[in-house]
Amino acid sequence: MNPDDFPTPDAPVETVAPTELKARIDAGETVTLLDARMTADYDEWHIDGSTVESINVPYFEFLDEEVDDDVLDRIPDDREVTVLCAKGGASEFVAGTLAEHGYDVNHLENGMNGWARIYERAEVTGYDGPGTLYQYQRPSSGCLGYLLVDGGEAAVVDPLRAFTERYLADADALGVDLAYAFDTHVHADHISGVRELADAGVAGVIPEPAVDRGITYADELELAADGDTFPVGDATVEAVHTPGHTSGMTSYLLGGGLLATGDGLFVESVARPDLEEGDDGAPDAARQLYDSLQERVLTLPDDTLIGGAHFSDAAAPADDGTYTAPVGELTERMAALSMERAEFVETVLADMPPRPANYEEIIATNLGRHTADDEEAFALELGPNNCAASQESLADD
């Protein structure tokens, strides 16, 4: 049913902004959510947290003139309940129906689409390099990006197309020019914003080794080969080729203080190696990933921060609220980083999660082979990223 087709409830229902709900969860407040989407959509991704009670009751359970008692019995009546759906129409109807039955309810503005619009910026206070470094966080999908600012210039790493205007606005608010936009690789879980930022006058940069995958717009951008450096004020961004997740994966050493590893290494796990070459090519890619980690990443000074392009529910933030950790700390606590090559490959391949939703279309869009307008691009990347290997087998000792 189209959200516009739901009748307007007779009982008044308050609307909660996604940012307000996020703030309540971040503050440790206990919240109860009634997710009215279909169970398959709910199982794929939903709002979670240590203080979040999430209940899934699909909207069609409320369409009958008289709602069954067994449906109502599944919904707490001793506390406030926030109802949500995909876009906000069904949740308003369900919340209104519950209000008519005496429940204390409100509904989430724009539903999960609104939740996916949350994009926060946190300073990486542990960064010990020139200028200031920020981490962008998208809680709906766990996507992370980075903004390095120094000497009147800035560079963004792994920008999202949906937030192109945000990067430009942030640079303006910080009083700097956005000089560069870097991609670490051809992403499989979100639509890159590098081309849009290039259209706005920013120098777009993609890894030179990724061009062989068939990027159709490579001649419009700058290429980053292993060892290349790019000035940002007095800071530098150095390209470090770290293949494994993809053949072109390139990390960027920001100001010498943080390695933006893309999907190569996360604070809770390592990359999955099967999205480019499939199951048949995954063993070779896993071996390549092991070599990249051991020879290019773990050889950095122990106090160098690692910042991936994603975080999952298994990740614990640092004291500054960012998903970053020093190389030495990761080496000590992540079992995967101490394994021998054969064990690492076997473990990585043994239990990989489902591939990201729509990953083939997203890759085609990021290669320039598929054209998607803003609405389609936003819809393609909704859901979890699933770009890491299984946390259970590779995470902390």
pLDDT tens-digit series, residues 361-382 = 999 999 999 999 999 999 999 9
Judge whether 247 and 209 are in contact, CB under 8 Å.
Answer: yes
Q: Kindly report, residue by residue over 110-153, the tens digit of the pLDDT.
A: 999 999 999 999 999 999 999 999 999 999 999 999 999 999 99
Segments of the chain assigned to CATH 3.40.250.10: 3-115
Q: Where are the beta strands (DSSP E) in the chain?
A: 14-16, 31-35, 52-56, 81-84, 105-108, 120-123, 132-138, 143-150, 153-157, 177-182, 203-207, 222-224, 229-232, 235-241, 250-254, 258-262, 305-308, 325-326
Give the CATH fold of the 3-115 domain: Oxidized Rhodanese; domain 1 (3.40.250)
Burial of 387 (0-12, 13-18, 19+ CB in 10 A): buried
The CATH code of domain 120-394 reads: 3.60.15.10
Greater pLDDT, 365 or 357:
365
Structure tokens at 285: 């890619």
Confidence of residue 1 (pLDDT cuts 50, 70, 90): low
pLDDT of 19 above 90 = yes
- pLDDT over 90 at 192, yes or no: yes
The structure tokens 């794929």 sit at 44
Tokens read off for 54: 């999430």
- CA–CA distance from 269 to each of 86, 272, 306 (Å)? 30, 9, 12
Neighbouring-strand partners of residue 138: 143
Residue with tokens 């000089």: 179
Ranges of CATH 3.60.15.10 domains, the chain: 120-394
Query: What's the pLDDT score for residue 351?
Result: 78
Q: Which two tokens stand for residue 315?
A: 């990740």
What whole-number distance in Å separates Cα of residue 282 and Cα of residue 276? 8
Whether the CB-CB separation of 304 and 327 falls below 8 Å is answered with: yes
**pTM, entire model:** 0.93
Closest CA to 73 of 55, 59, 60, 85: 55
